[in-house]
A and B are shown apart, each in its own frame.
Chain A
Amino acid sequence: MLSFIVRRLLSGAVLLFVITTVAYALLYVGGGDIARRILGQNATQEAVAAKAAELGLDRPLWEQYGGWLSQAVTGDLGRSWFSGQLVSVGVSSRLAVTLSIVIGAVLIAAVIAVVLGVLAAVRGGVVDRIVQFISVLGFAIPGFLIALGLVLVFAINLRLFKATGYVPITTDVGGWIASVTLPVIALAIGAIASVTQQVRGSVVDALSRDYVRTLRSRGLGSGRVVYKHVLRNAGGPALAILAVQFVGLLGGAVIVEQIFALPGLGQLAVQSTTNGDIPIVMGLVLATAFIVVIVNLLIDLAQAALNPKVRLS
């Protein structure tokens, strides 16, 4: 078990290295005249060249990347070229916002999807068709359209929630809930749709297994068999799709944060990529890739806990 975790962490580290290398190379190639952009159109040629030298932009790619990397492994991600803020501070404060809505959406999606998926698989018939239809709709309608609809109905017409802005949980719990509810719903709907389909599929599959019949032949009620045995067996594939959803929602959060004006990673990503603020972009890439690696590891561990056959492999 321990060697499994170590192996996965090592391969995660390799993944982080490759992703940051590729990202750095791409940013370098397409960076354009960043020094000029920082200083503005009126700066003199000499000032621009001096700024470029100060940022190390005049050095070759591998030297720049090497410098970034050697600092990054010590936890120093540098400062933003534009605001001068520490990247680690800027990114982590934004990360808290994004993670709170993404994790909220994933948890809600998991609970609702398991209920709907099991219901559809066990009841079949009309219930199944209704659930399937709803989840197809939820899957097909782009998340940002749902977000727009939510803003229009609940924030602008009914005035139940604030349309924009963010209240940190540390300042006001009620205000925090009011500010994240709509974004979480907007993100969760698409995830609910996909995960429901997966849960339904794997429950239908697990229900048809021989051991279900044998356990029932021993006198166990079908409810007990479904909630203890079928759910545990169907849990693996459902967790896998949940991990995929998590990664997808990190991306989806970019658009949703923009609509609800939440100060999350997405906003930062839009700003810094348009400016060409390489330290910030690298910090973002590193943070998202790191989260993805950790989430995948956690999901794998959860799967191993669910199914002994997966263990140690």
Chain B
Amino acid sequence: MLSRLLAATQISIAAALVAVVVALVLGVVGGLLAGYYGGWFDSVSSWLTGLVMALPGIVVLLAARAVLGPSVWLSMAIFGVLMSPAFFRLVYASVTAVRNELYVDAARVSGLRDGRIISRHILSVVRAPVIIQSAMITGIAIAIQSGLEFLGLGDLSVPTWGSMLSDGFAKIYNAPLLMLWPSLAIGLTCISLTLLANALRDALERTVSTRRRRREGKVNGAPAERTAVVGHQDDARAATGEVLLSVRDLHVGYDQPDGSLTQVVHGIDLDIRRGEVHGLIGESGSGKTQTAFSVLGLLPSGGRVTRGTIDFGGIQLAGAGEGVFRKVRGKRIAYVPQEPMSNLDSAFTIGSQLVEPMQVVLGLSKKEATERALALLARVGLPDPKKTFASYPHEISGGQAQRVLIAGAVSCDPELLIADEPTTALDVTVQAEVLDLLRDLQAEFGMAMLLVTHNFGVVADLCDRVSVMQSGLIVETGPVRSIFNHAEHPYTQSLLDAILEDGEPRGTLGSRKEVSA
């Protein structure tokens, strides 16, 4: 029994390897050629791939057996052909993605031959996923092969796991244990190959994701030297109104896979009064968006407020549960995002995305909500509200999408509007219009506004007060005019210098503010 099992093991695994090698050679070579050179070879092989994938594998194997006779090796070779699309698609996708990368162009310009470029730059990209896929396919090949043998369609002269299982099945009533060993062998081999593939993929994904996170700058270094915040005296105009949002000693951190905590906001204080436009300015990675998301309770997964308080009109939001936030979001605090397109759900019409929250939050009927949505779309300056209402997000422009998002944000008449870089993703000509719209709506609805930006020009245009953020700390805060005229912190000064170089005349600030006030 044992000796038969061992002999069967050799053949079963060797035959599975035949399948993998055939699939590898066809798929990888085909994928490389089709992906790298494109052209007719590309179209033909892509079409063939679709064809092969549309066939139920076992039926083909049965037909092949009828034609070519019962040979493990042959049927596994054919199975390899059937599995080659898996490699083809993998390699093809990677190669087309890499082909137009700059470093491949650079290699071509510097005179490397195609063969060398393929082996040096492209194979290194697909190597890991191909190894993973191979482990998977070995498992599938063993399963299919033993399945065929089990049906009695195998080569009876060679001992394999499947034929042993078939013998066992014939005696299932008398000696069910006969099935145990080949079953265990097949099952364990398939499981371990799949687990191996999964472990490899996980290892691979982990390195990729940490690399990406670092690039995005979410992992910040130590906080800036914690000196006293430079505070400016409020001038008469800015100081009025009760405090609506009061943030004290806010710390935000992200749990890391290794159990440690990476802090991105290191204890900030922030007050926003009713009806005030408050700018939160700083370079990317300074923690301003994290601060905004903390107030909304919408930090990305893994992120949380680790210390401090967020008092919003008497409600404590720091560490509050979903139930508390649901009473506040939309109705009292609203949010305008940075990137208009990705913030609309492409599967639903714009109208339905506006109507749904109003029905839920304000309890309006569908008809009332629709009327209000149409009125809002007209209010935010969309020329044909009815048409926009019925459109899908991909049918409108970025500027229009941002207007839609602004309409959505003010739809439930909030007290505080958090706008996260609302113009950064827009064309320069559209930016000014959207800022005007925000200013008008803010006055019309009497909302307070927290405007997150990296652009002092936007602050000058819109804000009453401003807080300057650097490396997770607020370094300077006060009325806009005071900060413009007497910036004390070197970081604030450098931000101001940046817009002066753009040629924005400082004089306009005073005069324009006078007019609007």
A interface residue numbers (CB < 8 A to B)? 15, 18-19, 23, 26-27, 29-31, 124, 136-137, 139-145, 148-149, 151-152, 156, 208-211, 213-222, 224, 228-229, 232-233, 244, 247-248, 250-252, 254-255, 258-259, 266, 269-270, 273-276, 281, 284-285, 288-289, 292-293, 296, 306-309
Contacts and interface: CB of A to CB of B under 8 A. Distances in A.
Contact of A252 (B58, B65, B186, B411): B58
Given A26-B64, A145-B187, A251-B56, 4 more contacts: A228-B356, A233-B345, A251-B59, A309-B346
CB-CB nearest 6 A-B residue pairs = A219-B330, A30-B67, A142-B143, A251-B58, A218-B357, A273-B66
A217 B298 contact: yes
Contacts of B169: 148, 259
A112 to B, nearest CB: 19
Contacts of B144: 142
Contact of A248 (B56, B151, B361, B412): B56
A229 B331 contact: no
Given A30-B68, A306-B347, A255 B63 contact: no
A148 B183 contact: yes
Contacts of A214: 335, 337, 343-344, 405, 408
A209 B335 CA distance: 15
B151 A255 contact: yes
Nearest to A204: B301
Contacts of A219: 326, 329-331, 357, 360-361, 412
Contact of A136 (B63, B198, B343, B344): B198
Question: Which of A217, A293, A308 gathers most chain B CB within 10 Å?
Answer: A217
A209 B344 CA distance: 10
A252 B347 CA distance: 34
A215 B357 contact: yes
Nearest to A284: B59
B9 to A, nearest CB: 16
Contact of B151 (A216, A222, A270): A270
Interface of B: 51, 53-59, 62-68, 139, 142-144, 146-147, 150-151, 153, 165, 169, 172-173, 176, 179, 183, 186-187, 190-191, 193-195, 198, 296, 298, 300-301, 322, 326, 329-331, 333-335, 337, 339, 342-348, 353, 356-357, 360-361, 392, 394, 405, 408-409, 411-412
Contacts of A244: 53
A295 to B, nearest CB: 10
Given A144-B147, A219-B329, A26 B346 contact: no
B403 to A, nearest CB: 14
A308 B408 CA distance: 21
Contacts of A215: 345, 353, 356-357
A216 B346 CA distance: 16
B337 A210 contact: yes
A27 B347 contact: no
A232 B194 contact: no
A62 B61 CA distance: 24
B67 A308 contact: no
Contacts of A274: 65-66, 153
23 contacts: A19-B51, A19-B55, A139-B194, A140-B194, A140-B195, A141-B191, A142-B147, A142-B186, A148-B169, A208-B300, A208-B301, A218-B329, A218-B335, A233-B346, A244-B53, A247-B54, A247-B56, A254-B59, A255-B151, A285-B63, A289-B55, A292-B56, A293-B54
Contacts of A26: 63-64, 67
A210 B329 contact: no
A270 B153 contact: yes
Given A148-B169, A156-B176, A289 B334 contact: no
Given A136-B194, A141-B190, A18 B346 contact: no
